[in-house]
Structures are given as C-alpha cells and as structure tokens.
Amino acid sequence: MTKIVIIGGVAGGASAAARARRLDESSEIIMFERGAYISFANCGLPYHIAGDISERDDLLLQTPDGFSTRFNVDVRVLQEVTAIDSEQKQVSIKNLSNGETYIESYDKLVLSPGAAPIMPPLPGLDLPHIYSLRNLPDMDRIIDDMQRHKPQHATVVGGGFIGLEMVEALTERGIKTTLLELGPQVMAPVDAEMAKPLHQELEGHGVDLRLNTALEAVERASSAKRKLKLNLSNNKTLTTDMLIMAIGVKPETSLAKAAGLELGNLGGIKVNQEMQSSDPDIYAVGDAVEDLHWVSQQSAFIPLAGPANRQGRLAANNIFGAKQAYKQTQGTAICKVFDLAVASTGLNEKQLSAQGISYEKVYVHSASHASYYPGAESVNLKLLFCPETGTILGAQAVGKDGIDKRIDVLAVAQRAGLKVEDLQDLELCYAPPFGSAKDPVNQIGFVASNVRNGSHKICHSHEIDNLSDSQMILDVRNPQELLNNGAIPGALNIPLDQLRDRLDELPKDMEILIYCFVGLRGYVAYRQLANQGFKAKNLSGGYKTWLNMR
Amino acid sequence: MTKIVIIGGVAGGASAAARARRLDESSEIIMFERGAYISFANCGLPYHIAGDISERDDLLLQTPDGFSTRFNVDVRVLQEVTAIDSEQKQVSIKNLSNGETYIESYDKLVLSPGAAPIMPPLPGLDLPHIYSLRNLPDMDRIIDDMQRHKPQHATVVGGGFIGLEMVEALTERGIKTTLLELGPQVMAPVDAEMAKPLHQELEGHGVDLRLNTALEAVERASSAKRKLKLNLSNNKTLTTDMLIMAIGVKPETSLAKAAGLELGNLGGIKVNQEMQSSDPDIYAVGDAVEDLHWVSQQSAFIPLAGPANRQGRLAANNIFGAKQAYKQTQGTAICKVFDLAVASTGLNEKQLSAQGISYEKVYVHSASHASYYPGAESVNLKLLFCPETGTILGAQAVGKDGIDKRIDVLAVAQRAGLKVEDLQDLELCYAPPFGSAKDPVNQIGFVASNVRNGSHKICHSHEIDNLSDSQMILDVRNPQELLNNGAIPGALNIPLDQLRDRLDELPKDMEILIYCFVGLRGYVAYRQLANQGFKAKNLSGGYKTWLNMR
Ligand SMILES: Cc1cc2nc3c(=O)[nH]c(=O)nc-3n(C[C@H](O)[C@H](O)[C@H](O)COP(=O)(O)OP(=O)(O)OC[C@H]3O[C@@H](n4cnc5c(N)ncnc54)[C@H](O)[C@@H]3O)c2cc1C
Ligand SMILES: Cc1cc2nc3c(=O)[nH]c(=O)nc-3n(C[C@H](O)[C@H](O)[C@H](O)COP(=O)(O)OP(=O)(O)OC[C@H]3O[C@@H](n4cnc5c(N)ncnc54)[C@H](O)[C@@H]3O)c2cc1C
Ligand SMILES: CC(C)(COP(=O)(O)OP(=O)(O)OC[C@H]1O[C@@H](n2cnc3c(N)ncnc32)[C@H](O)[C@@H]1OP(=O)(O)O)[C@@H](O)C(=O)NCCC(=O)NCCS
Ligand SMILES: CC(C)(COP(=O)(O)OP(=O)(O)OC[C@H]1O[C@@H](n2cnc3c(N)ncnc32)[C@H](O)[C@@H]1OP(=O)(O)O)[C@@H](O)C(=O)NCCC(=O)NCCS
C-alpha cells in the first residue's frame, strides 16, 4: 500500500488525486488544501464577478465531501502544509481551523501549491479596496466591495490574461475602468501588432487604457475618504475606488525551497520529464514548476490550467511506475477581450529575437467562414516559422470568430512537427457556416510556402517605413479604398486590375514595395511584376497589418 | 509560351487558372465554362434559397470579366467543350450563344468539369416542379417556383449534405418538407448512432423524416393539377408541390471517356499523384476524379470543394514542373442541420467493416467549453482507431457548438500520423468561453489510450443488448436520473458514490457491464471494480450513446 500525500487541492492536486485512485484502489491518499475549497474553477472567477456565471456554486466542480466519497481520498481542507522533511519523508501540517499542528508521513509526495499574485513592493498596497484575484475568497472580497461601496471607478494594473478579464468584468458591471500597463502593449504572449486590435477593443468599450504607465504608489485620496490616489510613473495621478493588482503570478516555492528542493532559473520548482523534483519521491506539478518550452527547449514558466491538469495526471501515472515523460508546454493560450478573442501558441517574435532564433513571419486576414455567409469575421493570423527548415515556431490570432479553432489547428500542427508546407494540405471542415474551401490556415500555409520557395518576396512595415533611395511604394488598391481607409504616405497608386496596362509607369531599376489591404492582391501584383522582371516585394498583411504596427 | 486550356470555370478550374497565371505571366490560358457563370459558390446555393444569404450576387466570387482582367485569362463562358483529341492535342468547342463550333489547341489541358446530380431512371422525373441543385440556374429555378407557385409542401429525396441543406432551406422558408431517405439514416459519412441526433433535430423542426423509404415513381396528382403524387417503396403515396432530387452526384466523365482517358473503379477519372490522367498532358481535378483515400488507400470519390481547390492549384504547379504529389483526401466534411453541426474525417465504422480494417471505437460527450460558463453544449464525439497500433482511423462529431473545431483538430492529428496516445498531450486553447482545461479531444485521447493499454475495458450497446448468462448490467447513475431519463432494462442500480460500500451486492463470478450517462462515471466505477478483482466492462458513451443506437 502506497501512501500518497498531495499538497494543493485544485487543478494539479485534485487531478493527481483522482487519477491515483483510479489507478490503485488500495493506496492511502491524503490531499491537503489550505483554503476552504478544492477543485474550483479559478478560470471562472472573473466571469462570476462579471455576472456571466450567475451562480457562485457553479465554480465548485467538486466539494471536499463529494471528492472524498467518489475517490476515497482523505481531503483535508483548511490545513496548510508548513514543512516537508524529505529525509524522514514526512510533512508538517497546521490545521487552520483550530491552530493545531501535526505530522503526516508519505511514500510519495505531490506538490501542486500553485502560484501567487505578484505584489510589488509599492507604498500603500496594504490600503483597503486593493485586491488581487487567485481564489474564491479573493473573488468574494471584490464582489463584496462592489456591493457595499458601489465603486464608480476601478483601476486594474497589468494587461495580461487576468487583468484583461477583470477589466471586462468591471466594465460589464458598469464600473468605469482604467487599465495601467507598464509595457507598450497588453497581452504579452502576442506581438505588438496583434495586440493593437485589443487596444482598440478596450477603448471602444470605454476602458481608459494607459500603456507605458506603471503604478508607483497608492495613497488615501485626501478629498474623499474611501478613494485611493494612485501615483503613476508618468507623474500623473489617478483617483480610483478600487484597485486590482494583476501584474502576474510567481510560483509558490517556499515549501519546496525550505525542503531543499532545487529551483530552476526562473524560480519555479525544477522537475525532470517525469515531473519529479530533485527528490525522486517528491513530484511537483502545475503553476509551481518550471519546465522546458516545447519550441525553444529553454526554461519556461507557463502557469495554465491545461498543463497543470495533465501534469497532475502524469505524476500519478509515474508514482505507479509508468515512467512517462511530460511532453513539455507550447504555451497555447487564449483570452476573451470583450467581443474579441486573442490566442497564441509557441514562441512570439519578441521571444524568438531574444533567444536569437532565426525566423520569418507572415500574416493573413481571411474570413472566419465563407465571406458570403452571414457572420463572417476577419481572422487576423500571424505565423512565425524557420525560413531554413519550415518549422512552425509560433502562431498568433486575433478576431471575433474562429480564433480558438485556428490556433488549435496550428498548435496541433506544430506539436506534430508539421512544416509550413504541410499546412497547405490540411483538410479542414468546410461548409459556408464553418469555414472556407481554403481555410485561413491553408492560406497562411500557401503564403509561408511561397515565401520559403522564393516565389513570394515579402517585406514588413519596418522596411516600408524606412525606404531607401532605390525603393518605392506601390499601392494596388482601388482609389475608393484609399479615400475610405487612408494610405501609406508617398505610395504610387495603380489598382491591381490596371497594373498590366500601366507597367510602363514603374521603374525597372528600383525595388517596388507593393501593398494592398491584406496582402493578397499585393501578392498577385507581386507575381505579375516579378514575372515581368521587376524587382519587387509585397508587404505581408498589407495596409491592415501596417496600421496595427503604428 | 505554354498554352493551357481549362475545362470548367468553378472550384478546380478557376483555381488552376488563377494559380497558373501567378506562376507564369506569359502563358496563354483559356478557361471554358459551359454555364454563364464562373467562380460561383455552389456551396452557398442552399443558403440563398433559405434566405440566409440575401444577395444572389454574393454567390459570384468572380465575374468572367473580373477574372479575365485580374488574371489575364481568356474566359469563355457559355462555351461547351464537346470533345478532346488527345492525339492532336486539341479540343472542340460549341459556343452555346450562337451554336458555332470550333477547335482550340493546347499544350496542357486541365479537366475540372465537376459532377452531376444523379437522376435515377424513375418514371415521372421529367414532370414540372422537379429539381436538382448544382448551379445558379438550378437555384434560380427553385426560387422561381417558390415565388410563383408558393408551394405548401416540398419533398427532398436523399439525406446527404445537399439534401439536408435543402430540407433546412425549405423549412426556413415556411414550406412543410418531407425527407425521403432510402437508408436507415441520414448523413452517410457518419455512423448510425451519430446520425440519430440529426433525426431528432429534423423532426424537432417539423420535418417529416421518412427513413428506409425510396421514391419509386412520380405522377401528376389527379386531384390538384399542380401537385405531384409520389409513389414510395413502402407502398405509400405522398402528394407534394415540389420535389428536390439530392441522392448524390456522379463524376462528369463523358468527355474524358470519349477521349479514351482511363476511368477508375468508382467511375471517376483516374489520376496519378500529380493529378495527371492517363494522358500526361491532361490533368484532371475536382469532383470528376477519383483518388486514393488517405486512410484506406482504396479508391474514393470525395466530391468536396477543398480538395477541388487544392487539386486545381496543384495541377497548375505541376504543369510548370513542380512534380508535387497531391496528399490524398481524408474526407473531412461538415454540415449544418438546423441548430446542429455534424462533421467527420477519415473512415467510418461502416467503411472500416466493409474494408476489413480492424478497429475499436470510443465515445465522449464532453462540454464544448467549460460547463460553468454560459452556452456550453455537449460535443458528441466518436473516435475510431486501430487497437493494435493506436492509429487514428476516423472521427465523427455532432452537436451545437465546437464541432468543426474538434474534427479539425482530429483531422490534423490524423494527417500528421499522431496516435491516440498523442491526443492526450495536445495543448489546445483554454479559457472558459472557448474550451476546457481538458478538451474533449484530450478526453477522447485518455479514453482511447486507457482502452489500448488495458486499463479501461469497454463494451458497446450490442453487447448490452445481447447479454450472456454470465453477464449483468450495473447502472451507476443516481436514482433521479433513471426516473428522468429512463434506464437499460434489467440493470441493477448502485450510484457510483455508494459503490465502495455496496460491493457485496455484486457477484465476482459474473461479468459486470457498467454504464452511466456518458461513460465517465461508468469508467470510474469500472476502475474500482477492476481494482477489486471484479470482472467488468464499461459501456463506452454510456446511456446517451446507447439511446442513439436505438
Ligand atoms: C482568475 C484566474 C483566471 C485564470 N484563467 C485561466 C484560463 O482561462 N486558462 C488557463 O489555462 N488558466 C487560467 N488560470 C490559471 C489556472 O487556474 C492555473 O494554471 C491552475 O489552476 C494551476 O493549477 P495548480 O494546481 O498548479 O494551482 P492552483 O489551482 O492554484 O492550486 C493550488 C492550491 O494549492 C493550495 N496550497 C498552496 N500551498 C499550500 C500548502 N502549503 N498547503 C496546502 N495547500 C496549499 C492553494 O491554496 C491552492 O488552492 C487562471 C487563474 C486565475 C487565478
Ligand atoms: C448545393 C451544393 C452545396 C455544396 N456544399 C459544399 C460544402 O458545403 N462543402 C464542400 O466542401 N463542398 C460542397 N459542395 C461541393 C463543391 O461545390 C464541389 O466539390 C466543387 O465545386 C467541385 O469543383 P469542380 O471544379 O470539380 O466542379 P464544379 O465546381 O462543379 O465546376 C465544374 C464546372 O465545369 C463546367 N463544365 C462541365 N463540363 C463542361 C464542358 N464540357 N465544357 C465547359 N464547361 C464544363 C460546369 O458547368 C461547372 O460549372 C456543394 C455542392 C453543391 C452543388
Ligand atoms: C474536477 C477534477 C477533480 C476532475 O478530475 P478527473 O476526475 O481527473 O477529471 P475528469 O472529470 O475530467 O475525468 C477525466 C477522466 O475520465 C475519463 N473519461 C472522460 N470522459 C470519459 C468518457 N466519456 N467515458 C469514459 N471515461 C471518460 C478519462 O479517461 C479520465 O480518466 P483517466 O485520467 O483515468 O484517464 C479536477 O479536474 C479538478 O479539480 N478541476 C478543477 C480545478 C481546475 O482545473 N481549475 C483550473 C481550470 S478552471
Ligand atoms: C475565386 C477564385 C478564382 C480564387 O482563386 P485563387 O486566386 O487561387 O484563390 P484565393 O483568392 O483564395 O487566393 C489564394 C492565393 O492568394 C495567396 N494569399 C492568400 N492570402 C494572402 C495574403 N494575405 N497575403 C499574400 N498572399 C495571400 C495564396 O498564397 C494563394 O496564392 P498561390 O495559390 O499562388 O499560393 C477561386 O477560389 C474560385 O473560383 N472559387 C469559387 C468556386 C468554389 O470554390 N466553389 C466551391 C466552394 S463554394
């Protein structure tokens, strides 16, 4: 009989416990959770605050009793593990209901303590009306504040997943919200031009978005007692009724560290492929660990529910001798921002540059389903790949419809080791309400393959914005489009369908940088010019991507 | 300068023409189309009839003039190619506007003549108010009939993609519709239990669904002049105002046959991997060809727009020497049936059985996104795989939300050669509005992997329905569920959460066939019993799939 002790009763911990029981009926399994709840939907918290999920109970996927009955697991809530003695193979516990402490032995220990919201050492963060969001009590406090004090204005610090979800939730609740983001863009997992539509979406919903702006200190506003005065990095101040800190999370490693377990470069618990910490009898999973990134093979800290669940299951398998390797994390993630979805997988341009990985990028803006069928929306899709091998390095998408599907497809393609050329042949569901005969994923496969085989020379905004003397810009859109949507300064306009007859207006000794609205007509023009001996390049993603680069 | 002649100006033909021009500016390209339109959205026709696509012009993705200007292609509409002389490398053309005939030479010929609706040799199919739907004139005739004669009742023959889309379109137009289907189910690409929800959906929308019923003859109804009397295989008759024949399509091979090109087993034009017919200067693509199925490597006729578009593009590539192989067709397809979507990829059980391929099947009914977030719908997912190797043989899904996404993911996994074990590790987009920490695809991967490694013994409805003397049925749902939803006759009911305490009610010498509503609790019960030394199996898909088998 194996005695398994699990620390943490949510995504990773509960998954490990349930799986362990399914694998073995005779083991003793004890699951410690310092909070009052287990198996709750952290990811649903913002949506209950928003009111989308009306019942708080819907967030509780299991109760301690329910779990214990179903899986014969000794679930001990409100009990905090305070120390691990890996020599003696035992843990110390403090019962938070009565303050008692005791010791429990283990054969195998699973650590899934999660991560904690980062609270920077700024003056005033201990004032009232300041919150972070990690668990149900956090959520309850925010809702309680909203009900009691009816805040008119809220400020969210941090434009990541949780920050954006909170901005939306507060706005939906009719609270005017300011979002402070230190960086030049929200949603760091995607690149700047893919975040641009999010900025517009936020502002379109009345959010006061302040990029490149950090919170420096909080004070009580002198005017109204209940208000907070925020001092910002740009020397401005802001008065607000409620402050949500959402600048990120850090792995909960205090126990592990104290127990002498090895930590990784990024401060997470170091694990091997089998999710064992430096002590082979102690497994660690979820937000508390760091792992190698599937694409870069560099250390990565990717605190997401999917990996936590799968790692918890895998740890249980390996406790019973499976010797399975966790297949690393690609970082596939998605976030709803009002009517938009933004999603990504793999590495982004910022990460690729930082890691010195050579890449090329292409964009398409294709319809989410047949454009003639009602409800089609533009899928703004970006693909990053290795120009030498065609390996898919990353993908990003933003839009109103079909974003999750395209990133899922690309995540599978990436994981399966498909090359950009293979994307051309993917056979995806097509009927007008669902897709197109050539799905956006096929289209981006065509584009990337053409770039790779040299039949489509592309350029990017940077080159257009820094024209050399031997370059010129050609806009192949129709004049009406220029009037309606504007144009890149200095471009010559010859509509695509007149190009063949007006080739004599173009110089053979200059490089012609072509663009249209999304890149498709620009490419068709490029092929004409290239086939006629002109030197040319096409702006990938066209004017639409160029605008998003501003 | 290559002279390329293309027969057919829609999916395959127009794609080949456009791609050929992009590859080479100097070729002469002539595209013959016997109809008045090119590049139209066949797939959109039912939705214009339904009124969902309000503008007829939206179905015209390109006009002959527009195409000709953009791609410098000599587009000749209302010109039918009547013969191919492959010796002389020339085609004969009849100009349908003036009856003139003439000859055109070619260096390379691309055949993309499509397929034609099958019209069985039944008496009376030449009467008025009888239609099939392939192109714009067909659609116009149906709409004209609807406007002029205000049919009260329509009959659609054939429950495939086009038949179902027409049933929905007519119903949406307020016309009471009967669907006659020769077989025991609609939507042949999926298996019977996956079609069952479609039957309910059709009937729920007031469709008069008649399965196992063939049309045998049509007469003028004696009573009312404008009505048709349908004689059915079950000796019944049916009076209707309009009849739509949609029993399938057959490849247009008359030209090819007359030219001596080889046809395949299934009657389509035979092509090699490069889409060359038996004459290497004649390429053939789209609905007119037959190909090897990607999974079975047997001849297959899969008349879909995606393959037609990609084959047309590939033929152009190969004309210019690319020597690329078409990567065969998996048959990924989807159809909207009122509020449901049904989709599939690969082979179904009927095909696997017919081809003697060994397979196992598993089902999950998981939520399309986090069940606590509004709008989650059940994804009824079926996976067929090779029990020996874990190879994915096929997948089917039906439901209201997220069906296209799951089949797309599985289609990519299948094409990439992933095994069912790999589905466990797929990292898909998760936030509550879009998915689950364990996506239905992960879940079906868990289930299939457990089946493969022997840790989850399953059975199917057939076994439950044909119990041996040494088998018993155990229902592990809660009593209230049995009251609400019914139960399998003869089953013993012990709710899962009481099972550990009531093991003594179960015999050790019988095989216990366990079931719950969808299969998950049944599996948890199975693990308990198996771990306690009972002989047991779990009904895959649970009561829900069992009901769909009726
Ligand atoms: C608001 C919010 C929204 C999110 N949205 C998404 C999303 O949309 N998609 C997504 O993929 N991920 C999302 N996440 C992240 C996801 O919830 C986490 O990745 C996942 O829960 C991590 O699982 P875990 O088991 O590592 O940690 P947790 O689920 O946090 O569980 C750790 C548990 O361990 C307990 N614990 C810690 N230390 C001890 C101790 N010493 N003794 C006893 N108990 C202890 C804690 O109380 C905690 O309950 C979201 C998170 C939050 C907070
Ligand atoms: C109502 C309907 C709905 C559909 N829905 C879907 C769907 O949702 N998803 C999907 O994937 N597929 C769908 N399809 C199928 C899809 O449209 C076809 O697979 C695709 O159009 C095949 O392309 P093709 O080029 O082979 O043939 P077509 O697109 O049919 O083009 C062939 C053309 O060749 C012309 N032609 C034939 N012979 C000659 C000749 N001798 N001389 C000159 N011209 C000639 C014909 O007039 C025709 O216009 C649907 C089809 C229909 C009819
Ligand atoms: C609720 C919770 C305890 C469930 O854990 P679980 O039992 O391992 O997971 P599920 O209920 O999804 O069931 C998965 C198991 O059922 C099996 N299964 C799923 N569908 C099945 C079906 N239709 N038929 C048979 N088996 C099925 C799977 O094979 C898997 O079993 P395995 O791991 O032994 O292979 C855990 O997921 C949890 O605590 N979740 C909430 C916390 C969380 O994830 N938060 C972050 C996201 S909001
Ligand atoms: C309209 C039609 C002629 C267009 O053919 P097409 O020009 O080959 O196809 P698209 O407009 O989708 O463009 C695809 C091309 O643009 C390129 N492209 C797409 N998006 C791009 C972007 N954003 N930037 C640069 N290039 C892009 C692709 O690389 C591809 O070019 P390639 O084949 O040379 O690699 C043809 O699809 C057609 O006739 N369709 C209607 C008929 C039909 O399909 N019916 C059945 C379904 S309803």
CATH number reported for the structural domain that contains residue B29 in this entry = 3.50.50.60
Chain B: give the shortest CA distance to residue A264, in Å: 23
pLDDT in tens, A104-163: 999 999 999 999 999 999 999 999 999 999 999 999 999 999 999 999 999 999 999 999
Please give the biggest Cα pair distance in chain A.
89
> Of the candidates B432, B453, B474, which is a domain's last residue?
B453
Which residues of chain B have a CB within 8 Å of the CB of A323? Answer: none
The per-residue pLDDT for range B114-138, each reduced to its tens digit, is 999 999 999 999 999 999 999 999 9
* CA neighbor of A341 nearest in space, from A263, A295, A385, A406: A406
Q: Is the pLDDT of residue A313 over 90?
A: yes
Whether B136 maps to a domain, the answer reads yes
- The answer on A536 and A391 residing in a single domain is no
For chain B, count helices (H), then strands (E): 16, 31
Does residue A8 surpass a pLDDT of 70? yes
**For residue A469, how many C-alpha atoms fall within 13 Å in the half-sphere facing its CB?**
0
Reply yes or no on whether the pLDDT at B224 is more than 70. no
| Burial class of A480 by CB neighbour count within 10 A (0 to 12, 13 to 18, 19+) | exposed
Residue B242 shares a structural domain with residue B254: no
Q: Return the pLDDT at B1.
A: 86
Would A328 be classed as within a structural domain? no
Query: Could you count the other beta carbons within 10 Å of the beta carbon of residue A394?
Result: 29
Dist CA A183 CA A208 (whole Å): 15
Same domain, A107 and A147: no
Kindly state whether residue A203 falls inside one of the protein's structural domains. yes
Domain identity same for B496 and B444 = no
B64-71 and B11-23 helices, crossing angle to 10°: 20
Taking the Cβ of residue A81 and every Cβ of chain B, the question of whether any pair is shorter than 8 Å is answered with: no
Interface of A with B in 263-322 (CB under 8 A): 294, 304-310
| Rounded Cα gap, residues B407 and B190, in angstroms | 12
Tell me: do B41 and B94 sit in the same domain: yes
Within a domain: A305 = yes
Q: Does the CB atom of residue B264 touch ligand 2 within 6 A?
A: no
Q: In angstroms, what separates the C-alpha of B417 from chain A's closest C-alpha?
A: 8
- CB-based contact A161 B374, cutoff 8 Å: no
B287 CA distance to ligand 2 centroid (A)? 7
With bands split at pLDDT 50, 70 and 90, how would you rate the model's confidence at A224?
A: low
Q: Which of B222, B247, B272 is the last residue of a domain?
A: B247
Q: Answer yes or no: is A125 within a domain.
A: no
Residue pair A456/A485 in contact by the 8 Å Cβ criterion: no
Chain B residue at shortest CA distance from A59: B372
| Structure confidence by residue, pLDDT tens digits, A325-363 | 999 999 999 999 999 999 999 999 999 999 999 999 999
Q: What is the pLDDT of residues B390-449, one digit of tens each?
A: 999 999 999 999 999 999 999 999 999 999 999 999 999 999 999 999 999 999 999 999
* Same-domain status, B429 and B442: yes
Q: State percent of chain B over pLDDT 70.
A: 100
Read off φ and ψ for residue B473, nearest 5 degrees.
Answer: -110, 135
Kindly list the residues from chain A whose CB atom is less than 8 angstroms away from the CB atom of residue B331.
427
Please state the length of chain B: 550
Range of the domain at B36: 3-116+250-319
Q: Identify whether B330 is part of a domain.
A: no
Q: Is the CB of B244 under 6 A from ligand 2?
A: no
Q: How many CB atoms lie within 10 A of CB B452?
A: 20
Which of A268, A3, A265, A264 has the alpha carbon at shortest distance from A110? A3
d(CA B411, CA B405): 10
A344 domain-assigned: yes
Number of structural domains found in chain A: 4
pLDDT in tens, B249-262: 999 999 999 999 99
Tell me if A334 and B434 make a contact (CB, 8 A cut-off): yes
pLDDT digits (tens, 9 = 90+) for A9-18: 999 999 999 9
pLDDT at A226: 84
Dist. CA B132 → ligand 4 center (Å): 28
> Are A480 and A544 in the same domain?
yes
Q: What are B77's strand-pairing partners?
A: B33
Residues of B in contact with A41 (CB under 8 A): 370, 372, 432
Distance CA B547, CA B262 (A): 47
Specify the length of chain A in residues.
Answer: 550
* A142 and A206 part of one domain: yes
Ligand 4 neighbour B334 (Cβ under 6 A):
no
Calpha distance A449→A421 (Å, rounded): 5
CA distance to A266, A483, B63, B154, B165, per residue, from B144 (Å): 69, 40, 23, 14, 18
Report whether pLDDT(B225) > 80: no
* Residues B415 and B371 grouped into a single domain: yes
Tokens standing for residue A380 = 């703004």
Strand order, beta sheet including B208-210: B130-131, B242-245, B153-157, B176-180, B208-210
CA B135 to the chain's CA centroid: 19
Q: Which atom of ligand 3 is nearest to the CA of B447?
A: 29
A155, A55: one domain: no
Question: Domain of B508: which CATH number?
Answer: 3.40.250.10
Residue B449 and residue B372 share a domain: yes
Query: Residue whose CA is closest, atom 21 of ligand 4?
Result: A520
Give me the phi and psi of A260, to 5 degrees please: 80, 15
Give residue B161's pLDDT band: very low, low, confident or very high (50, 70, 90): very high
CB pairs under 8 A between A and B: 239
The whole-number average pLDDT for the span A294-319 is 97
- Residue B134: how many CB atoms within 10 A of its CB? 18
Instruction: State yes or no: ipTM above 0.95.
Output: yes
Q: What percent of chain B has pLDDT over 90?
A: 99
Looking at the structure, do residues B399 and B483 belong to the same domain, yes or no?
no
Please compute the mean of the pLDDT values over residues B165-183 and round it to a whole number.
98
Query: From the list B52, B71, B332, which residue is nearest A374 (CB)?
Result: B52
Answer whether residue B124 is part of any domain: no
Confidence of residue A222 (pLDDT cuts 50, 70, 90): confident
- Domain final residue pick, B453, B469, B490: B453
pLDDT value for A225: 72
Q: According to the model, what pLDDT value does residue B222 have?
A: 78
